[in-house]
Structure 1
Amino acid sequence: ALGAARVAGVSLPSLPNQDNSFAEIYARIDKVIDCLKGLSPSQIDGKDDAKVTVTIGGQPQELTGQNYLYHFAILQVQFHATTAYDLLRSVGVPIGKIDYLGPRPR
């Protein structure tokens, strides 16, 4: 959501790192969903070459919209999903590859 919002050039929602309860986690998820619902395709379409500045390793980095989404934002989501999956598996939660991959398209 933040990646799409950055490329669209809209204000990012405040998402402080204070998920101390499931209620706070659900509230954070709701904010992200609201952010996505507030975007329209026209706000992102044609922004492949738009400049997006993000802080990486404490340094501001300027990327094109396409490079930011493909080489940073999507990879961030994949990294965190993989890490959550690995942590759950390590404590014995009975999940498998299909839970990570999701249903196959038909």
Structure 2
Amino acid sequence: MVPTKLFLHYLARLKQLLLVAERFDADVGTARLHPTMFPLLQQARTAIGFTLRSTCPLAGREIVSFGADHDSFASVHAQLDAAVAYLAAIPDEDFLVAARPVATTAGFAGLALDSEEYFLLYAVPNFFFHYSMVYAIARQAGVPIGKADFDGFHQYPPCFSFDSA
């Protein structure tokens, strides 16, 4: 299990989503799906943080953070770039050791999971929750993005719509 491959791919996708959203309307950074949920930029910061919170324990490292104390597209881009550089520098072999137990919190709940459970059942779903919220908030705000922007694999003809399919 080498989590950096997954996270580096989707952090690159997140970078593109944020660039398109920022060019479309910088105010989308403060948009929310619901009043009790984080706005787009905080969702992005949390997704980025989850890549480090997930990967560092699995590589036998202390969790690092590159987050800023404010939400702006510039600060989120800086956090994302620093996280990508850090993750890319972790050698694959750091993940090829025997399973490591991981202790963490989920909200106010304490968790103790083996490394595979931690990665597959906790870390990946939490990353994708926050990453998906960035996508959903941007789409709801009218940012011109689609599934191809989300995963980087799908392709559709220009002006394709599922309404006309």
Indicate yes or no: 2:61 matched with 1:10.
Answer: yes
**C-alpha displacement at 1:8, in angstroms?**
1.1
Q: What is the RMSD computed on CA atoms of the aligned residues?
A: 1.8
Q: 1:38 aligns with which of 69, 72, 89?
A: 89
**C-alpha separation between the residues in 2 aligned to 1:18 and 1:60?**
25
Aligned residues: 103
Question: In the alignment, what sits opposite 1:74?
Answer: 124
Q: Which amino acid aligns with 1:31?
A: A
Verify the 8 A CA contact 2:103 2:113 in the aligned structure 1: yes
Which is strand-richer, 1 or 2?
Answer: 1
Task: Give aligned-pair identity as a percent.
Answer: 27
Output one character per residue of 1:35-85: Cα deviation in whole Å (capped at 9) or x when no partner. Answer: 2123111111134x2101111122321111111110111111211121111
DSSP-derived class of the 2:61 partner: coil
Q: 2:143 aligns with which of 79, 93, 102?
A: 93
**C-alpha displacement at 1:97, in angstroms?**
1.9
**C-alpha displacement at 1:5, in angstroms?**
1.1
Question: In the alignment, what sits opposite 1:21?
Answer: 72
Q: Which amino acid aligns with 2:124?
A: I
Q: Which runs of 4+ in 1 moved over 6 A?
A: none
TM-score by length of 1: 0.83
Which is helix-richer, 1 or 2?
Answer: 2
Relative contact order: is structure 1 or structure 2 higher (C-alpha 8 Å, sep ≥ 6)?
A: 2
DSSP-derived class of the 1:80 partner: helix
Which runs of no fewer than 5 residues in structure 1 stay unpaired?
none
DSSP-derived class of the 1:11 partner: coil
